[in-house]
Amino acid sequence: MKKLLLLPLTLILILVVFFTLRINQVEISQTVGCVRGDIIDDGLKGRNLLLLDSATTAEKLRKESSCIKDVKIKKIIPGKLIIEIETQKEVAKIENGSLALTENGLITGQTNPNLPTIYSGSLLSASPGQTISDPEILQTLKISGLLTKSDFNAQSIRLVDGDIAFYDANGLIVLFSKSQDPKTQVDSLQQVLAKTKIDASKIAKIDLRFIQPVVLFK
């Protein structure tokens, strides 16, 4: 008799939990222009909080929006979902326009006017949402992203005959190799700048395409 009573009570409890823990609020940690909030809401609201697979949902969001770099999902009982989105950061702006490039080659609307300008004829016909696959440009974008954490303040970037050249406001030219590791090259540049910090204004060119950086003075 007790077992017969226990079964319907268990079913009722399961139904109560199932309907009580439905997602009724979706909170996005920041405003992301390339991700429509209503699409996220429509796809998640009403689903059971406990049954939602966070990893699968995060991966789906990344695939649907190429501007997303990382997604973290937090479940708050009884029915709140917090989505923390990290977007790809712009690292360069395209000449003669209002478009920018992220480190992974995604073309976006420019939001930061202080980005270095990249000069490349292949980018003049680019459009928002397009993803660049040119290895040389992708190498350049990786370098540009790393330089934001260095003492070198890039103003412009030019790709000429296989060379990647970065210029600062004082006319200093830094040449990078398109085949060597970007981080290793930026680390080498940082070491050169640290050693010559007092006389940095006297440097005309730093060539990082060799095993040992070559420094030319004015």
The whole-number pLDDT of residue 15 equals: 58
Q: Considering the domain delimited by 90-217, tell me its CATH architecture.
A: 3-Layer(aba) Sandwich (3.40)
* pLDDT value, residue 143: 96
Residues of the chain with pLDDT under 70: 1-19, 30-42, 197-200
- pLDDT value, residue 30: 62
pLDDT score, position 49: 85
2-87: which CATH number, 3.30.1330.30, 3.40.50.300, 3.10.20.310, 3.40.50.970? 3.10.20.310
Provide long-range contacts, Cβ within 8 A and 24+ apart, for 62-71. 64/39, 65/32, 65/34, 65/35, 66/34, 66/104, 66/106, 66/129, 66/131, 67/32, 67/34, 67/35, 67/102, 67/106, 67/108, 68/32, 68/34, 68/35, 69/104
Q: Where are the domains of the chain?
A: 2-87, 90-217
pLDDT per residue over 7-58, tens digit each? Answer: 565 666 565 566 678 888 888 876 555 666 665 666 788 888 888 888 888 8
- Per the omega criterion (within 30 degrees of 0), is the bond before 78 cis? yes
Say how far apart CA 100 and CA 156 lie, in whole Å. 13
2-87 and 90-217 have identical folds? no
At 139 the pLDDT is: 94
